[in-house]
Amino acid sequence: MGKASRLKRERNAAKVYRFIKEESHANALVNGNVWINTLEKCRAYEDPLQGDEEEAVHRYNSGYIMGGSDDPSLMVVAARCSINIGPGCPNITLNNNTSVHRIPDAFVLCATEFFNPKELNQTFGMYCVEISNPNKFFQLLTMKLRELHQIRQAAWGKVIYRKRNYSGLEDPPGPLGFVKPADPYSVQREVRFLWTINSARDLLPFLLEVPEVTSLCRRIA
């Protein structure tokens, strides 16, 4: 069984909130029946405020750089473009090389760090469940998921709102799967729980029974 590891992310939220369209689904969550979605499903939503076809995708461009295999900067750029350069190679030029880093699919559950029905009801639903101690909530879900799937990596944290494209020696925008453009998504203040699976082919959303989370969930709308 793959060991779950968590990205180093800021986790200072004491509570998070999940807005839901169906009252029965909100009640199910309170009773420990957690609907786990997939990235591919999120990419396919027609609502532009909910769907995002570039979900968990970073695009990189090398720009223009010259050097040799003894040049750390050139080697960083080459690695980002998945170009292998052996030792003792001089006079190398990289220009306008591109690469795409993408999580093919993963399990995901989305929430928000604030109870903000004015902004979120229309897109995500009028019913809301407050989740206290989201770190414990995440741990309990991860333990249950590990009984069903080989988890490659598990992480939770706040989504970073900035561009997902970067170039040259710019720092990557953030952890893959936790970056979205500010326009139009920043108002959502999303908190995301994400699990990548060793075999991510043909993942489907499903209902995960985790009765241990009932003490952490309560209806507030």
Q: Which residues contact 50 (CB under 8 A, 6 or more apart)?
A: 42, 123, 124
What confidence score (pLDDT) does residue 51 get?
A: 85
Classify the C-alpha dihedral 17-205-195-100 as positive or negative: negative
CB 32 within 8 A of CB 215: no
What confidence score (pLDDT) does residue 75 get?
A: 97
Contacts 24+ apart (CB under 8 A), 177-181: 177/39, 177/55, 177/56, 177/103, 177/106, 177/108, 178/7, 178/9, 179/58, 180/52, 180/55
What confidence score (pLDDT) does residue 184 get?
A: 94
Which residues are 182's β-sheet partners? none
What confidence score (pLDDT) does residue 3 get?
A: 40
Structural domain spans, the chain: 15-56+102-219, 63-96
What confidence score (pLDDT) does residue 13 get?
A: 63
Mean pLDDT by 10 residues, the chain (221 residues): 40 83 96 97 88 95 96 97 94 97 96 94 94 97 96 96 97 97 95 92 94 97 95
For residues 131-162, b (16+ Cβ closer than 10 Å) or e, as one string?
A: bebbeebbbbbbebbbeebebbbbbbbbbbbe
What confidence score (pLDDT) does residue 86 get?
A: 93
